[in-house]
């Protein structure tokens, strides 16, 4: 496989763009192919088998495009079925999971709050993760069923967003949580709002850069790092050779608006792949 092959990244929507941005920052030489499965979102309301079938479908699309690695930039998809996906495909497949371990290590009160989609919190994989640290800290789970649609709508600072975050965060603080885990990649886009509500004494645990570093490690291990010289400055100027191509199974106009807000780079190209996905 050529070192110049792209990295495939997918999510149920735009949340995985936070992971893609971290990958772009850490690995500016790498071309990216991003798939937002917005036509089948949100995954948090779907059964595990449905999510797995979507993961298979998208992975077939990405492997047909010749990607050298895949990042499942969705906590729900990772906890629902990444093990089954890895059993099907030999290339590096990197997932994301809520950062419970670093949260437990960071907590001084011994109380950790996890903000995530209801589906993520119900999966056996997450139950195993939480149980692993049950003797070290009290882990409180907070389902956030209405948060992803607001983020997808780019409603970051309205009264509804503020009220919703208050309703999710305050019960955790009332129980003594001094560390909050963002258990959905979408939530990275409202991390500052969450931090503002939680206050300066509460740590916010995000995992997108940890995912990028794990991808870097896996690529290096397999000898797949692209060594062509491309700098972040070139990318910002839109003159980098490393491409960023974006697909959506939803409405292309909406996705374009989301990209301009959350990616905003001159090196992007959007493809409507509803007929493929």
Q: What is the pLDDT of residues 34-58, one digit of tens each?
A: 999 999 988 877 888 999 999 999 9
Beta bridge partners of 8: 33, 70
Helix (H) / strand (E) element for 69: namely strand 69-72
Give the pLDDT score at 269.
64
Q: pLDDT digit string (tens) for 238-261? A: 444 578 899 999 998 899 999 999
- Mean of per-residue pLDDT scores for the chain: 90
Give the pLDDT score at 230.
54
Strands 203-205 and 179-182 turn out to be parallel
Q: Is 184 labeled as catalytic in the residue annotation?
A: yes
Separation of alpha carbons 48 and 69, rounded Å: 23
Write down the pTM of the prediction.
Answer: 0.90
Give the pLDDT score at 147.
94
pLDDT at residue 113 above 90?
yes
pLDDT at residue 232 above 60?
no
Separation of alpha carbons 54 and 50, rounded Å: 6
- Residue of 185, 190, 181, 188 whose CA lies nearest to 157: 190
Least reliable range by pLDDT among 54-58, 89-93, 100-104, 126-130: 126-130
Contact 37, 53 (CB under 8 A): no
Would you place residue 231 in the very low, low, confident or very high pLDDT band (cuts 50, 70, 90)? low
Give the pLDDT score at 276.
59
Contact 98, 76 (CB under 8 A): no
Give the pLDDT score at 274.
59
pLDDT at residue 120 above 80?
yes
Domain 7-96+208-272 in CATH 3.40.50.1860: yes
pLDDT, average across residues 149-167: 93
CATH number of 100-205: 3.40.50.1860
pLDDT at residue 27 above 60?
yes
pLDDT at residue 273 above 70?
no
Give the pLDDT score at 13.
94
Give the pLDDT score at 134.
84
Contact 261, 49 (CB under 8 A): no
Q: Which of 74, 144, 261, 273 is catalytic?
A: 74
Would you place residue 196 in the very low, low, confident or very high pLDDT band (cuts 50, 70, 90)? very high
Give the pLDDT score at 1.
54
Q: Which of 144, 184, 261, 273 is catalytic?
A: 184
Domains 7-96+208-272 and 100-205 share a fold: yes
Q: Is 273 labeled as catalytic in the residue annotation?
A: no
Domain boundaries, the chain: 7-96+208-272, 100-205
pLDDT at residue 142 above 70?
yes
């Amino acid at each position: 496989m050529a070192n110049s092959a792209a990295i495939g990244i997918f999510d149920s929507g735009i949340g995985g763009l936070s992971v893609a941005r971290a990958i772009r920052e850490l690995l500016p030489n790498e071309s990216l192919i991003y798939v937002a499965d917005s036509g089948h979102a949100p995954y948090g309301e779907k059964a595990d088998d449905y999510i797995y079938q979507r993961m298979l479908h998208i992975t077939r699309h990405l492997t047909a495009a010749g990607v050298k690695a895949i990042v499942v930039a969705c906590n729900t998809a990772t906890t629902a079925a990444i093990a089954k996906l890895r059993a099907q495909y030999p290339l590096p497949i990197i997932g994301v999971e809520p950062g419970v371990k670093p949260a437990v290590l960071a907590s001084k009160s011994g109380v950790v709050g996890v903000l995530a989609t209801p589906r993520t919190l119900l999966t056996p994989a997450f139950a195993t993760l939480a149980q692993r640290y049950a003797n070290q800290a009290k882990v409180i789970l907070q389902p956030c069923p209405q948060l992803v649609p607001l983020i997808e709508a780019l409603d970051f600072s309205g009264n509804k967003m503020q009220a919703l975050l208050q309703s999710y965060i305050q019960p955790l603080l009332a129980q003594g949580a001094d560390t909050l885990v963002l258990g959905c990649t979408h939530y990275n886009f409202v991390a500052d709002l969450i931090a503002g509500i939680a206050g300066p004494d509460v740590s916010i645990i995000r995992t997108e850069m940890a995912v990028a570093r794990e991808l870097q490690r896996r690529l290096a291990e397999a000898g797949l790092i692209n060594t062509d010289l491309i700098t972040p400055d070139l990318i910002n100027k839109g003159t980098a050779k490393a491409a960023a191509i974006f697909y959506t199974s939803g409405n292309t106009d909406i996705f374009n608006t989301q990209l301009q807000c959350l990616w905003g780079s001159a090196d992007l190209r959007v493809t409507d792949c509803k007929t493929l996905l």
